[in-house]
Structure 1
Amino acid sequence: MVTKINLTEDIIVAVSKLIDDSMSNRRDPSHSDLEFQIKKYGLEQGDPKAQGQTVGKAKRVRYVLNWALEFNIDSGEKLLVALLNLVRGVGGFRKGSSNYVGEEEIINLQQILKNSGYYLDDTGNIGHLILDNITEFEMEEALWNYVRRAKKGQEDAALLTGTSKDLLEAVAAHVLVKLWGTYPQTVNFPTLLGQAFVALGLKTSLEEIDQANPVKKAKIKMETSLYQLGCSINLLRNKTGTGHGRPFVPEIPHEDARLAIEGMAIISEYLLNKMSLHHFL
């Protein structure tokens, strides 16, 4: 069951579009419904109405979620799910209902959520998208979304929703599929990551460093360090379960886990950028 949704600017805009501001044909949920949910998740500080401002419902939702994006992302992500449940509960996803939000708004939100690793059906039910079953372009968009979240140290970005792969493993596999047409599904992680590095012309060892000039030596050291860091992070992986929950073994302190997640993001971003450049060579 989905208890929270990635809080991003495009999702905030799309969700706020489900909340009506019309004065002629008013739709539920009401301001009081919104206020209950905002207070439930402790986000009153970001609520313009709580600050004495008069705003419409859509703008109110957008303000609260944008505030949460900066100051309380966990509660904001939970509020997103609550808002979708609220809209569904008043008939917002049912054609013919006086509270129906509109086909265009639903399709737009479905596409945006899909890029973040979720599916939203036409009745408003949300679930985890199986990333292995989406198109190559959609996969790349989803991976970039996870990278952006992992760069902020967000733990749920380390393990990809709907798959047993972690972020770096999925990026390495995607690089090989993009450049070689396939990837070996039975090899261990160091081999998979190493093959991705090789496919991109990156070094995984210092074998050639003696023959290199100073700049090349520094580059080889940087690339091999990233490879070793990726392998070290993978050793900390919590291999139990199906890819949900805490991504690292329980004895890893929080600050070490955060460093590992941000390390995943740095390496993944580097590989994805190198892959993009590779297409132009």
Structure 2
Amino acid sequence: MQGASLTDEIAISLSQLIDDSQATNRRDPSHSDLDFIVQKAELWDVDPKNQGRNVGKAKRIRAILYWSLENDIKKGEKLVKSVISVVKASGGFRENSINYTGREQIENLMQAFKSTGYILTIDGEIQPVILDNLSEKEMSEALHTYIRRAKQGIEDAALVAGTGKDLMEAVAAYIILKKMGSYPTQANFPTLLGQAFMMVGSATPHDKIDSNLPEPAIKRFERALYELACSINKLRNKEGTGHGRPFLSILTKEEALSAIESIGLVAEYLFNKLELNS
């Protein structure tokens, strides 16, 4: 199974997926099954069951995921992936299974995943979404999700699943596509990024500066963002995403974390400028 994401909508839909409180018969996964995956995700301390509260499976998982959204999204995403895996293993996605969760519940969760950069199939598989197959609105939502995760230092957010692009390249291409209707697929990264900066009215080091005129301080900031993005691009793991790391292996974990968060910073700034100029 590929990666997973966590949003408010996913937290609600996933808890509904395992809710059997109104069902005639109890369905797996059981509370015991949930014990194991909650502990594996290192979320046992915030589990209502561990705190002595008598709650159903849906309320239990929803409470843990809401805590994760505010405090530790990485652990929450790990739990999302595990819950879907255990539901699938229990037959929850098979219509002829006694543990089938229901088509409406599955479709609600599928819809919740749609704007996260991943898709959930009807049989419970998580796959990377192909951005080119999304509508403009869905593509924007998916990129916003990647940006949010990058700012939180989540490593896989640096690479856009299902593409050969890193997040910064994907955002630059989206801006040019939105403004021009197409983008130069063969352009190198500095050129592509420079075009995106220009189209949202941001400065780059290549702009001519009139030394006789005062320049707003924000322009220096924008040029620094451009240089930051280009320097991070130099750190990319050119071996490809299949090697598990978006950056060169010589980087420490702390250096890679700073690079990921910086990608989120630059990408968010460009997106905000795009929305202001739209």
TM-score normalized with structure 2 length: 0.91
CA contact (8 A) 2:4 2:80 kept: yes
Q: Report deviation, 1:96.
A: 4.7
Deviates more, 1:237-246 or 1:106-115: 237-246
**Aligned equivalents of 2:254, 2:32: Cα separation in 1:** 40
CA distance 1:133–1:79, change in 2 (3 Å): same
Q: Does 1:236 align with 2:235?
A: yes
CA-to-aligned-CA distance 1:140-195 (integer Å, 9 cap, x gap): 10000011111111111111111111111000000000001111011110000001
The question of 1:103 aligning with 2:103 is answered yes
CA–CA distance in 1 between the matches of 2:96 and 2:173? Answer: 45
User: Equivalent residue for 1:85?
Assistant: 85
Partner of 2:180: 180
> What are the superposed Cα offsets for residues 9-50 of structure 1, whole Å, 9 maximum, x if unpaired?
322221111011415523222212211222233321121111
Unaligned runs of 5+ in 2: none
CA contact (8 A) 2:159 2:241 kept: no
Q: CA deviation at 1:70?
A: 4.6
Match of 1:170 in 2: 170
Pick closer, same or farther for the CA change 1:253–1:209 going to 2, 3 Å.
farther
Within a 5 Å distance, the mapping from 1:102-181 to structure 2 comes to 102-181=102-181
Q: Which residue of 2 aligns with 1:55?
A: 55
Q: Which amino acid aligns with 1:159?
A: L
Whether the 8 Å contact between 1:160 and 1:243 is mirrored in structure 2 is no
1:200 to 1:40, Cα distance in 2 relative to 1, 3 A: closer
Shift of 1:222: 1.3
TM-score by length of structure 1 reads 0.91
- Secondary structure of 1:111's partner? helix
Identity, in percent, stands at 51
The answer (yes or no) to whether the contact 2:240–2:246 under 8 Å persists in 1 is: no
Q: Which runs of 5+ in 1 are unaligned?
A: none
Task: Give the residue type in structure 2 aligned to 1:167.
Answer: L
Report the secondary structure of 2:232's partner residue. helix
User: In the TM superposition, what whole-angstrom CA distance separates every residue of 1:231-267 from its partner, at most 9, and x where no partner exists?
Assistant: 1111111111236621111112222222211111111
CA distance in 1, matches of 2:261, 2:72: 19
Q: Which one-letter code corresponds to 1:22 in the other structure?
A: S
Structure 1 residues 71, 200: closer, same or farther in 2, change over 3 A? Answer: closer
Aligned to 2:255: 256
